[in-house]
Amino acid sequence: MDSLIQQLVLLCALYGAAHGVPDQVTYTPEIVPTRIAGRITQTTVALEQPRCVFDLTEMSCVSCEVWLIVANSTGVATFNSIKNGFFNTSMFTYQNAFTGPNGFYVTVKTKRDFYRCPPTAMPGQILTLRVGSEVPCQTPNCNAPLPTGGTFRMKYVLINLNLTGANVVGETEFTDNIKLLSAPDPNNIDTFPGRRTGGMVVITTILVILLFLLLAMFAAMLAMVCCKKYEQSDFPTPLATSGSLRKYHTHNLHNKSDIITQKGKM
């Protein structure tokens, strides 16, 4: 009985390989832990790299590449309907991902060997792949910023470039819906002065006190200057001249008492 089950499993595997069914890896891409800043922003998502995920898939394929698929709700169904055939990555670019019927695009092409389990990996090491970080977008499959506030699902796929038929040889699960942050509408921002947070009240109080102290110091300085000017007299203080003055006598007004000068005589 056990041998019969094993034969059925082997037949199913061979049947799937013959019809181009990708190897389903029991792994779901994860967003980096909460201690990392900027896990989800308005235009980016920080995923953990798929280390060790495809090590046992198509082990003989040295040219296999790992791609990231970013899809909306329509794109998930579209990819699932075409993944068993030839997958041309150049047809699923960022530029036409959400303006046409595709609903998804592929990006971040990486050699499979880059994601192999490192023999000296540090415990708890987090290797991040930032989705939406490429600015400006200069290639068809660039990792451009995602539309603000959008909802997306993501997965990794392994593609064998040597195959002319079904070339998606491995895939992970899709993530759950990832909702990006949205910028607040300027029209909805509350600018009413009566609604203030506790921090705003504290800052306003400190500024008022500082202004009051500054005005008080200015008034005190002004009063000191005015009082000092009031104490000064407009008339200068007389200089001490004791012993510095000389007595002068006009010689023609003081004659000797015993000499009388007659008129007409020399």
pLDDT at site 5? 35
- Model-wide pTM > 0.85: no
Residue 19: partners with Cβ closer than 8 Å, 6 or more residues away: 84, 166
Please tell me what DSSP assigns to residue 67.
E
Highest mean pLDDT among 112-121, 162-171, 201-210: 162-171
Q: CA 266 to CA 261: how far, in whole Å?
A: 8
Of 149, 166, 8, 5, the closest CA to residue 72 belongs to: 149
Q: CA 170 to CA 159: how far, in whole Å?
A: 7
Residue 43: partners with Cβ closer than 8 Å, 6 or more residues away: 132, 145, 146, 147, 148, 180
**What would you report as the CA-atom Rg of the chain, rounded to the nearest whole angstrom?**
47
> Which parts of 25-169 fold into alpha helices (H)?
73-82
Residue 165: partners with Cβ closer than 8 Å, 6 or more residues away: 20, 85, 86
SS3 35: coil
The percent of residues in the chain predicted with pLDDT above 70, rounded, is 72
Q: Pick the residue with more confidence: 168 or 7?
A: 168
- Confidence bin at 22 (pLDDT 50/70/90): very high
pLDDT at site 134? 92
Mean of the pLDDT values across residues 89-95? 92
Q: Pick the residue with more confidence: 210 or 123?
A: 210
Let me know the angle formed at the C-alpha of 201 by 197 and 205, rounded to the nearest 5 degrees.
170
Superfamily covering domain 19-183: Immunoglobulins (2.60.40.10)
SS3 234: coil
pLDDT digits (tens, 9 = 90+) for 97-115: 988 889 999 999 999 999 9
- Residue spans of the domains in the chain: they are 19-183
Highest mean pLDDT among 28-37, 182-191, 192-201: 28-37
Total residue length of the chain:
266
pLDDT digits (tens, 9 = 90+) for 125-144: 778 999 999 999 888 899 99
Strand partners of residue 157: 67, 171
Minimum mean pLDDT among 34-43, 51-60, 163-172: which range? 34-43
Mean of the pLDDT values across residues 89-94? 93
Q: Pick the residue with more confidence: 221 or 265?
A: 221
pLDDT digits (tens, 9 = 90+) for 210-251: 999 999 998 888 888 887 766 655 555 555 555 555 555 555
Q: What is the mean pLDDT of the chain?
A: 80
